[in-house]
Amino acid sequence: MNPSAQSSTSDSLSERGTSNAEEKRPAQTHRRLEWSLVKREFDRYYFHIPALAVGYAVHRLFRRYVPRQSVPWTSLRLSEVYSMWGIGASLAFRNMYALEAAFKDKDLAVVAVAGSRDASASVRRTVLQDCEDGIQDPRGRIRELLPAIRYSSYDTGSLRSKVLWWHDHIWADKDSYEALAATIVYRNLQADPAWTPRHLTDFDICTTFIAQHVSNRTIIVKRCLWGLFGFSAPVAMELRRSGGSRPWHLPAMNLTQRLLIGLLVYIEASLGHHDWSRLQDIKDKHQVATAVVRAFGKLDV
């Protein structure tokens, strides 16, 4: 065979092998990157799952040899109890990292501190009183901006946006929201008559966050849910012991308890994560932080 032909054949084979290796390398890198992201996600939020799985297996084995003597206080099966613990813990860890991320951002930290500070009863009364007093709006600029800010994320053509808007605003009463929004707008117009929000949704997110802390509605709902669940436990135990005077009593109580437990996991873990992570949706963080400082004074971050 011609040596030059052999050389050209070997060169083409080596080039093809090199090109195949180069094509495989980005795919391998991408897979390694995906795996590292999955591992980091697991280490952050789901590291407790193996321990819960072991705990569930040991608990189940224990119950096989040592049956329960007392009446159960909830209708949840053992697997459902551990699942609830796992879900609640994962959401709590997500909430913790979302809070940490907010305080690491110097602009978002201003909003976070304003919400936390205004949660105290004395500061809350002072803030709301200041909001109600001294606000002058001769040109109607505040009356124009308030509804624009509050309904900036409300899309009349989308059911999903309506539900999300309702979910985000139900935890703060309208009076607190409007008083805080009016103060933010008023103080910034005082400082700069040409001031206008670059993104209305930014100020809706900011005002909603602070108003939730001011109104304390979440805390009231939590106390009511825990009280109802505490009351339901002995009633459910008695119904399971006696069977209930009506056939539907026990199924109704089982459904009520499951609903209460689900709501408690949601409001104790999921809602906090939603509120803190929603701060990351603010587009112009610096303008929002500056506006909050103008409205409520310098905040120690």
What's the confidence (pLDDT) of residue 226? 92
Q: Is 214:118 a contact under the CB 8 Å cutoff?
A: yes
Amino acid type, 262: G
Residue 125 half-sphere exposure toward CB, CA atoms < 13 A:
2
Structure tokens, 172: 């703060």
Q: Model pTM greater than 0.85?
A: no
> Whole-angstrom Cα distance, residue 211 to residue 284?
20
Which is more confident, 27 or 294? 294
Instruction: Give the residue extent of every domain in the chain.
Output: 75-296
Indicate the Cα dihedral angle 264, 268, 274, 280, nearest 10°. 180
Query: Would you say residue 292 has pLDDT above 70?
Result: yes
Mean pLDDT, residues 148-167 = 84
Query: Would you say residue 28 has pLDDT above 60?
Result: no
Angle, nearest 10°, between helix axes 174-191 and 121-132? 60
Mean pLDDT, residues 228-239 = 87
